[in-house]
Amino acid sequence: MGFLELSEEQIMVRDMARDFARNELTPHSERWDRDGWIDDSVIAQMGDLGLMGMVVPEEWGGANVDYVSYALAVEEISAGDGAVGAMMSIHNSVGCGPILKYGSEEQKKTWLGELASGRSVGCFCLTEPQAGSEANNLKTRAVLKDGKWVLNGSKQFVSNGKRAALAIVFAVTDPELGKKGISAFLVPTNTPGFIVNRVEKKLGIRGSDTCAITLDQCEIPESNLLGPRGKGLAIALSNLEGGRIGIAAQALGIARAAFESALRYSKERIQFGVPLIEHQSVAGFLADMQTQINAARLLILQAASMRERNVPCISEASQAKLFASEMAEAVCSKAIQIYGGYGYLEDYPVERHYRDARITQIYEGTSEVQRLVIARVLKETDF
């Protein structure tokens, strides 16, 4: 199957996600943005629809769809609400993904069904106050003592941190080994010593909780080590392709929502006796916006198709995220311009879309990091 050609199953997944987003997400987006919280009932509904364990095999309770279907679904959910798209993408990629790839049979049995059903949400605790893109500069420590791992340290910018029932935590187990001394752990968030210090107040995606976490003498069983000891950095980096495809799709969905809103407004708003869309400058804006949206989608579907076929696609995933995230801010900015002064008000959704889009250039690797990745691959490529 060429990546431009959608199968019946992919179309069905896309249309299901689109209907759900329009009926169950968009009507509540303004309230979730204001309250800083997504209704728990929505997460349960998403679990019932298979949206919380999309690439998890059916034997572990997942929907077992391909990565193209996953990307299409994230786009639709994000068009309905950018914050829900963030929660869903992070949960699927770095919540379920590492357990699916590195978890023991017992760990999969214990957690994947819970995560895929939406009964539990996952979070990913890698970033620290002093270690963002420099993931190997961790100060969180894990010490094995009397058959238990004892974790101490701080984590920053943890998406789903307050909502999550399970955290994948990265900590240094062997300091003398440098980046080969980092390990990954499964930490239930109700474990004593796992402390949500604060929920951050953010520019956008406010319904998705982002937290600062402290680990204070947090004890977990020795069996909660995820994957081999010392392979934590490899585990953290192993899902870069899937994570970046997901964030690219989120950016695309936010941009598309802003574009569709601006298009409707341009046909309804009368200026100088004609609808806005009849003015050449506005029509040019809209033409550019749609072109950029469609170009981003093609990059995303190409990367997703390669990922599904197990073809290495770190450059393609980075290209998709880089282009889609920067496109989203530009498209949302033009949407505000089309609305004029009204676009700057909270009364209209384009103001929220603009705020929601900005983060997509930062998390899952900044735009600067994406350019470094793409350039590194170019250096190793012979044409």
Write out the catalytic residue numbers.
Answer: 364
Contact of 344 with 279, CB cutoff 8 Å:
no
Q: Which residues are registered as beta bridge partners of 382?
A: none
Question: What dihedral do alpha carbons 52, 56, 58, 60 form, nearest 10°?
Answer: -90
Q: Which residues touch 132 (CB under 8 Å, ≥6 apart)? A: 157
Please state, in angstroms and as integers, the Cα–Cα distance from residue 53 to each residue in 64, 121, 167, following that order. 8, 10, 16
Calpha distance 337→284 (Å, rounded) = 12
Alpha-helical segments (H) within 96-166: 97-102, 105-117
Please state, in angstroms and as integers, the Cα–Cα distance from residue 168 to each residue in 95, 165, 198, 356, following that order. 7, 10, 19, 25
Contact of 49 with 64, CB cutoff 8 Å:
no
Sign of CA dihedral 176, 181, 187, 189: positive
Q: What is the DSSP letter of 217?
A: E
Type of residue at 287: A
For 90, half-sphere exposure in the C-beta direction (CA atoms, 13 angstrom radius) is: 29
Q: What SS3 class is residue 268? A: helix
Sign of CA dihedral 269, 261, 256, 208: positive
Calpha distance 277→200 (Å, rounded) = 39
Calpha distance 325→357 (Å, rounded) = 7
> Among candidates 54, 90, 95, 46, which has minimal Cα distance to 72?
54
